[in-house]
Structures are given as C-alpha cells and as structure tokens.
Chains A and B, each alone.
Chain A
Amino acid sequence: MLRDITLGQYYPADSVLHRLDPRTKLFGTMIYIVSLFLCNSWIAYGAAVAALAILIILSKVPVGFMFRGLKAILVLLLISVFFNLFFTSGEVVFRIWFITVTKEGIRTAVWMAVRLICLVTGASIMTLTTTPNSLTDGLEKSLGFLKVIKVPVHEIAMMMSIALRFIPILVEETDKIMKAQMARGADFEEGGLVAKAKAMIPLLIPLFVSAFRRATELATAMEARCYHGGEGRTKLKPLKYQTIDRVAYVLIFAFLVLMIIIKIKVK
C-alpha cells in the first residue's frame, strides 16, 4: 500500500539508541564525523571501526539495513579508491605497463574507503534509529541558536514536518491522477525520453494545482487553530535529556578525546 510507505529510513526497534534524545544523536554523529577526519593511522581507523561496530550492535538494526546507504556512494567510493591507488607516489610495490601501485597508494586507498564507509554508515545509524518527527524536533531545538542570525529555524522545522505529512498524500494523489489520465488514453510507458517527459505534463500540472489548493486550505486551518509562528509555542512532548543521554554525552566526549590522543601520539 502506498499509504504505508516509510519515510526516511527509520527502522522501528527498542534499543538504547532508539531511546536516546535526537539532540544527543545529532551531536554524537557530528563528533563521529569530525573524529573520522582526525584519523591518520591504522590504530585510529581501527578505533573508528570498532566504535561503529559497537553502535551497530547496540542499535538492534539488521546489518543489511546499515549498509544500504552505501549503494548511493558506491561510484564515489570506487573513484576515490581508483585515484588513490594508482596516482599516489611513493615506494613502488609493483608495476604493470604504465600503472604503478605504491605502498602509500594502497594505504591511502584503504583509509579513504574506510573513512567513507564509516561516514555514511555512521549517519545511517542516526536516521535508522530516529523517526523523522523527532529528528525534526531535535534539529529545531539544537539549531535554535541560529535564530540569533535570523535563520527561521522554527519555520524550517515546521515545513519539514508538514512535508513529511503530505508526501504520502501526494504520492497517493499522483497515483489517482495517473490512473485517471490512463483511463482517458494517456500513455506513460512508451516512447523515448522526450516522449516520456512530455507525458508527465498532464500528470504534473493537476498535481501542482492540487498541491497549491491543499496548501491554501492547510494554511487557513492552521490559522483557525491559532497558529502564529514559533513564538510562545509549547510542546506536547518537550525534548528532555534522560540519564542515558548524559551517559552518552560522556562517552561521546571520551571518544573524541581518545581520537585526539591517538592523533597526537601515534605517527
């Protein structure tokens, strides 16, 4: 069913990571990404991979889901490995025709690959264990300081959550319009790229018109329910840090310190 599509890639489960406050997870992800760029030794990369493995186990999300995100960066991954492997100068390991592979090349290629994989998987852990709603809430709350420089944080968060609410509705509507047009003889399947793109016009125009009508009605309904921007708003479920969040913050900082120490000490 179209109405059951899940947005983002939230994987429902009951784990420590699922229970963490979204702000903690956002912060943790950020620190993890920063620490990945501090890595410049095998030990550091080992620590990063180990931390990731622990998080994957803690999250109770099947490993297959974790690595789905990697498909999107497969090409990028291959390109970076390719260039690092063949175009790094240094101590030559072997040479085929004009291609030389150096020791430094192999090392950089492996490091880059690990770094990219950890980056994407680390971010996936956050999106897999956080519902889009609480992610939006977390973003609104933790980016609140941007209001000082006139970034409309509340408005952006509100738009995000409304978009999440209406995507399934619009998907269903697209389906309806498509069927209605097909019943009138429209053909969305055949023809080349240009013909297909042209066939989308009778689909997109009604969809846009309807989306605008919905937006107007929703705006009226929101005003009727006293919406007047983010000022003075309270929340049904305000975000509150629990004990596990405090523990998590301590661990996150400990991890960061560890990575810095490794960077300084190990050459």
Chain B
Amino acid sequence: MGLIDVKNLTFDYIIRDENDQIESSVRALDDINLEVNAGDFIAVLGRNGSGKSTFAKMLNAILLPTFGDVLVIGMNTKDESRMLDIRKNVGMVFQNPDNQIVANVVEEDIAFGPENLGVPSDEMRRRVDEVSSTVGMKEYLLKSPNNLSGGQKQRVAIAGVLAMKPKCIVLDEPTAMLDPIGRRDIIETVSKLNREEGITIIMITHYMEEAAAAKRVVVIDKNKVRADGTPREVFADYKTLRECGLDVPQVTELAGLLKNAGLPLRDGIITIEELISELKTRKS
C-alpha cells in the first residue's frame, strides 16, 4: 500500500438545473489508477482541461470520487470522519497566491492551519518559526502579505501547509502566475522539501522544465493517465506527449533534432547540463 492509493477513480462534474435535477454531466476523470509512494516527487502534466486540477482536488477530499476510491494512508476520502486527518496529511497549495492567504500578517497566515487543528500556542510558535526558515521567509514574519512578491506569497502558502506537518503536499500549478525568478524559487523550495524533509510532492504543472525536476512524471490527457514513468522515460516518447498537447523540454527537442541530423547522442536528455556534457564527450 502506498501513501496515496487511487483506485478506478472516476469523476463527473454534474450540472443541475434550478429544481436540483441533473441537467448534464461532464466526465473529468476516467478510471484512473495510481499509487503514490512515500518520498515520491511526482509531476502531473497535462494541457488545459485535461482533468489534472480536478485530480489534485481529489487527493485531499475537496472533491469526492463519483466512482472508485482515493485512499490516503489507508483512509478513504469518502469517510467524512477522517476528513481533517486526510487534509492535515495532504496539504494543498493553489495557483493564485493572493486567493489562498487568509490572514493580514505572514506569521498569522502560516499559523492558520495549526490554529484550525487546535495546536497549542507555544507549539504553534515553534512550528511557525521552523517552517518559515525552511522556506526562507523568516525575516518577513511580521509583514503584510500584500507587500510580498508572488514568489514570496507562494512560499508563505507552502509554509502554511508545512506548519500542519503533512506527509504529502499537492501543488496545483503553483508557478503559473509567477515570474521566472519566483518560479525557480518555488521549484527549488519544493525540491528541497522532498530531498531534505522527505515530504512527498505531487506537483501539477504544464511546464516541461519543471517536470524535469521531478522523480516521476504522470501525463494526464482526455481524463486518463497516458504516461507514467521517470522524466527520461516519459520525455523519450515524443509522440505520446505531442498527442497529449504537450511539448518536450526545448533541450530534449534539440538533442532529438541533433540526433536525427546524425550526431550520435544518447536518448533521454532532459537538462541543459546533460546535453553540454554529452556534447563534450562526443567532441573528445
């Protein structure tokens, strides 16, 4: 059993008319099976409307499956009595940094989750100090979130989730509204959490370069899982990615083109550094 088990997950968005009668329904997720192991760093890729955000919301009981089950450390998300336990263990960071910060002072926002869980004040103080230095926001604790940059706000949001001591963090396109610097910041923070704290990361994204930082890539398209494997394995299969409306990272594409042009490069190059070292070995 993994940390999170997704079994035959199917979800329909149901549109009701004024009399609460079902008018129509749209299938958003179709028979998804996935096992997330503790310590994983998974990037979930998919184009707009592929169902990837819906998938993220299934993991901590914000949405419940129409058919199938989602089990978080053995707890079914349909079991309402375990809801807080599930949400405490699977934290969630959303796309818009402004719309997920609740309090007017950074430290109070970080404490919002633990406050809801009834953590005692002195323990809460310790946690706030600890997680704020983990994400590098310690000197901003007394500032108003309105004066922070997008990347900083997103780091506050991550700290707010960390303060609940989760086993897993789900990030739903956390960098979509950030500038390149903020984007790099967040990816570095998230990678560090995975590496040093052993927190399982599930990151929804449509940036290939971000997916390359993950240990495992899952591609969702037309409501189904289309590919699942290491970034190398997944990116090697251009054709499937193209069909799913995704591009491979630029450097992978370049390596592929060079190879087609007759340069004997190996498969599965996903970072610029790799291509450079590969080219150097060819040269010598």
Write out the residue numbers on chain A whose beta carbons fall within 8 Å of the beta carbon of B112. Answer: 222, 225, 227
Residue of B whose beta carbon sits closest to that of A224: B92
B55 at the interface (CB under 8 A from A): no
- Name the CB-closest residue of B to A7: B104
CB pair A224 B60 closer than 8 Å: yes
Q: Is the CB of B103 within 8 A of A161?
A: yes
Q: Which among B98, B107, B116, B124 is the interface contact of A225 at CB below 8 angstroms?
A: B116
Contact A161 B116 (CB under 8 A): no
Q: CA separation between A224 and B111, bound complex, in Å?
A: 14
Known interface pairs A165-B102, A168-B146; A221-B94 also in contact (CB < 8 Å) = yes
Q: A218 to B116, Cβ gap below 8 A?
A: no
Query: Is there an interface contact between B125 and A218, defined as CB atoms closer than 8 Å?
Result: no
B92→A227 contact, CB < 8 A: no
CB distance from B128 to the nearest CB of A (A): 7
**A217-B99, A221-B100, A224-B60 given; A236·B124 CB < 8 A:** yes
Name the contact of A226 in the complex, choosing from B103, B113, B120 (C-beta under 8 A): B113
Chain B residues positioned under 8 Å from A214 (CB to CB): 96, 98-99
**B87, A225: Cβ atoms under 8 Å?**
yes
| Contacting residues of chain B (87-141) with chain A, CB-CB under 8 angstroms | 87-88, 91-92, 94, 96, 98-105, 107-108, 111-121, 124-125, 128
Contact call A221/B103, Cβ cutoff below 8 A: no
Q: Is the CB of A233 within 8 A of B98?
A: no
The docked-state distance in angstroms from the alpha carbon of A165 to that of B98 is 10
Is the pair B104, A226 in contact by a Cβ cutoff of 8 Å?
Answer: no
Nearest chain A CB to B53 CB, angstrom units: 11
Beta-carbon contact of B100 and A234 below 8 Å: no
Asked whether B161 is an interface residue with its Cβ less than 8 Å from the other chain, the reply is yes
A184: CB under 8 A from chain B? Answer: no
Interface size class of B (residues with CB under 8 A): 35 or more
In the bound complex, CA of A238 to CA of B111 (Å):
12
Q: Indicate if B254 sits at the interface (CB-CB under 8 A).
A: no
Q: How many A-B residue pairs have CB under 8 A?
A: 94
* Interface residues on chain A, size class: 20 to 34
Q: Contact at A217–B96, with CB atoms within 8 Å?
A: yes
Instruction: Decide: A232 near B118, CB < 8 A? Known: A225-B112, A226-B84.
Output: yes
Per the 8 Å Cβ criterion, residues 155-196 of A in contact with B are 161-162, 164-165, 168-169
A91 at the interface (CB under 8 A from B): no
Of A161, A162, A164, A233, the contact of B115 (CB 8 Å cutoff): A233
| Contact partners of A168 in chain B: CB under 8 A | 146
- Distance (Å) between the CB of B118 and the closest chain A CB? 5
Contact at A234–B115, with CB atoms within 8 Å? Answer: yes
In Å, the complex CA distance between A226 and B108 comes to: 15
Tell me if A3 and B147 are in contact (CB < 8 A).
Answer: yes
Residues of A within 8 A of B145 (CB): 165
A78 to chain B, nearest CB (A): 38
Within 8 A of B (CB), among A185-240: 214, 217-218, 220-228, 232-238
- Beyond A3-B146, A217-B94, whether A165 also contacts B117 by CB under 8 A is no
* Sample (20) of A-B pairs whose CB atoms are under 8 Å apart: A3-B146, A3-B147, A132-B104, A133-B104, A133-B105, A165-B102, A218-B100, A221-B94, A225-B91, A225-B102, A225-B112, A225-B113, A227-B112, A233-B116, A234-B119, A234-B121, A234-B124, A236-B107, A236-B115, A236-B121
8 nearest CB pairs, A to B: A221-B100, A236-B111, A217-B99, A224-B92, A225-B113, A226-B116, A232-B118, A3-B146
